Amino acid sequence: MRVGHAQCLVPEEVLRKVLKAAMMTGADFAEVFVEDTSTETITMEDGKIENVNSGRDKGAGIRVVKGETSSYCFTDSLEERDLLEAARTAAGALMGARGDYTIDLTRRDVPLISPVSKYPWETTKTQKAEFLHRADRAARAYDPLISQVTAGLLEIVRNTTIANSEGVLAADSVIRSRFTVSALATKNGILQTGTATIGKTMGLEILDIKSPEDLGREAARQAIVNVHAAPAPSGPMTVVMTNGWGGVLFHEACGHSLEADSILRGSSVFAGKIGQRVARECVTAIDDPTIPNEWGSYGVDDEGNPGQRTVLIENGILRSYMYDRKSAVKDKHRFTGNGRRMSYRYIAIPRMTNTFIAPYSGKEEDIIADTQEGLYAKGLRGGQVNPATGDFVFTVSEAYLIRNGKIGDPVRGATLIGNGLTTLGEIDAVADNLDFGPGNCGKSGQSVPAACGQPALRIRRITVGGTDRRSAERRG
Ligand SMILES: [Zn+2]
């Protein structure tokens, strides 16, 4: 294991004092989360740099737990006296006997999951702006119908230090970069957009995987396909989804229901189903923050617990949920390293990291060839999910009809309408070509980076909402 060498943001001696102060009213557990995050975004619209934003967010949050009660207090200062004051405030919210505590901290080895070769500060803003210009030029050169291009680069450097009254001391440093291009195509009053994104836990070497030109052309290609496409049909259909970002469907419609807080609230369709069949043999679903350089990767979670690969569903059988500390203690489960927070202002809650359907067998081409009639979904945009029921609507960003095992004409405006658990049971083929896409996952007002992934797969039957008036009339 390669070990990271992130520095502690606050001296160990101070962390010990803060924890001692936090434990003074007889708490069972106290934790300090310290963060120093720098963010830089550069955005471009119509060939002009619109915005260069740099921000730094530094502070600490202190949590004190006693039985079922907990209190949280944060400060934007890392000075010893401010940290102690926050600790006393958090402790003061819990009534209890004054105790005297000895806190011994043992520094944890944090694995270096995501090595970086091109650090954000090694490239000038002018050079970064030139990447955006290159994407813009490539998108416009792709087709004269491209009428607008926007592009953006986001870089995040997030340093964290976590210490708790059980002796854990861990420090991690994570660098993420994301490059996005959107293109608009216009023809006879029809406007269609295409978007291409790459986002990884690495530096600007992301652009060695896909160049600004690759991304610009990809965004333009999608927009052009859609501007020429016919309206999508509607009704129940077989859908083959390509590999990559389409995993967001599993993330949203099933993944959130596998986070332990929703299980313990009793609001999840997966509650009480461990060991039961929830999908076919070909479906294995995993959450894994230890994939080198993937968008949702880290060495330790925001509670200092090592990130780990958690098999959620194994060949169709439900195996595990994702836990933060609180839900693990309550459910008497080991930690799974899924306690995450948006910043030091928030408590950690169970969150997904890189969540994906695992590769199974066979080729995407063979799944398509084996499908008589259906829809080939080459990309998904965002969607809406009712968290209580898992009912969802997702917009397909690029789609084609499948006829006699062959990909046919493009269609636009298709949506996928269904239910998480039902649709999971309808997946009857999974290929071997796993890929990921980067996203921002929102929950309880907290947004965290999360990757969604899958190999190409087939959903035997799902409702497609289309815009073709003829099929709407047929539907009555
Ligand atoms: Zn989410």
Cα of 441 from ligand 1 centre, angstroms: 4
pLDDT for 101 equals: 77
Digit-coded pLDDT (tens) for 211-252: 999 999 999 999 999 999 999 999 999 999 999 999 999 999
| Averaged pLDDT for residues 149-172 | 98
Q: At residue 472, does pLDDT exceed 50?
A: no
Tens digit of each residue's pLDDT (9 = 90 or more) over 51-86: 899 999 999 999 999 988 999 999 999 999 999 999
Centroid of ligand 1 to alpha carbon of 416 (angstroms) = 17
Top pLDDT among 466 and 336 is at 336
Tell me what pLDDT residue 470 has: 54
The percent of residues in the chain predicted with pLDDT above 70, rounded, is 98
CA–CA distance, 321 with 352 (Å, rounded to integer): 10
Ligand 1 centre and the CA of 261: distance in Å? Answer: 14
pLDDT of 279 over the 70 cut: yes
CA 17 vs CA 20, 103, 162, 163, 345: distances in Å: 5, 8, 14, 11, 21
What pLDDT is recorded for position 267?
A: 87
Which residues on neighbouring strands pair with residue 437, listed in sequence order? Answer: 452
Mean pLDDT of 325-337: 96
Strand partners of residue 151: 44, 181
Collapsed DSSP state (helix, strand, coil) of residue 407 = strand
**For range 465-474, the mean pLDDT:** 61
Whether the predicted pLDDT of 473 surpasses 70: no
For tokens 């970064």, the residue is 128
| Ligand 1 centre distance from Cα of residue 407 (Å) | 31
Task: Compute the distance from residue 143 Cα to the ligand 1 centre, in Å.
Answer: 35
pTM for this structure? 0.95
**Separation in Å, CA 435 to CA 100, 118, 169, 451:** 52, 23, 34, 10
* pLDDT score for 474: 41
Say if residue 100's pLDDT is above 80: no
CA distances from 407 to 194, 240, 366 (A): 20, 10, 12
> What angle do the packed helices 12-22 and 80-92 form, to 10 degrees?
20
For residue 411, the CA-to-ligand 1 centroid distance in Å is 27
How far does the centroid of ligand 1 lie from the alpha carbon of residue 247, in Å?
11
Residue 387: pLDDT band by 50, 70, 90 thresholds? confident
Q: Read off the pLDDT of residues 253-277 as tens digits, 9 standing for 90 and up.
A: 999 999 999 999 998 999 999 999 9
SS3 305: coil
pLDDT digits (tens, 9 = 90+) for 376-385: 999 998 888 9
For residue 178, how far is its CA from the centre of ligand 1 (angstroms)?
Answer: 18
- Rounded distance from Cα 453 to ligand 1 centre (Å): 13
Q: Find the 144 Cα to ligand 1 centroid distance in Å.
A: 37
Are 246 and 377 in contact by the 8 Å Cβ rule? The answer is yes
Residue 119 Cα to ligand 1 middle (Å) = 28
From 23-27, 157-161, 255-259, the region with the lowest mean pLDDT:
23-27
Cα(254) to centroid of ligand 1, in Å?
10
Cα gap 227→30, rounded to integer Å: 57
pLDDT of residue 469: 57
- Torsion, Cα 347 350 353 354, to 10 degrees, reads -170
| Residue 133 CA to ligand 1 centre (angstroms) | 32
Q: What is the pLDDT of residue 282?
A: 98
**Cβ burial 155-168 (10 Å sphere, 16+ → b, else e):** bbbbbbbbbbbbeb
> Quick one: pLDDT at residue 93?
84
420 alpha carbon to ligand 1 midpoint, in Å? 13
Residues 470-476: what's their mean pLDDT?
42
Q: Which protein residues have their CB within 5 A of the ion that is ligand 1?
A: 441
Q: Ligand 1 center to residue 260 CA distance, Å?
A: 14
Confidence of residue 404 (pLDDT cuts 50, 70, 90): very high
Position 431 pLDDT exceeds 80: yes
Q: What confidence score (pLDDT) does residue 468 get?
A: 72
Give 168-201 pLDDT, tens digit per residue.
999 999 999 999 999 999 999 999 999 999 999 9
Distance 169 CA to ligand 1 centre (A): 29
CB-CB neighbours of 279 under 10 Å: 24
Measured in angstroms, how far is the CA atom of residue 253 from the centroid of ligand 1?
9
Question: pLDDT tens, 443-462?
Answer: 999 999 999 999 999 999 99
Domains of the chain with CATH codes: 12-228 (3.30.2290.10), 231-475 (no CATH)
Compute, in angstroms, the gap from residue 473 CA to the centroid of ligand 1: 35
Mean pLDDT confidence for 346-356: 98
Q: Indicate the average pLDDT of the chain.
A: 95
Which pLDDT value is given to residue 210? 98
162-163-168-171 Cα dihedral, nearest 10 degrees? 30
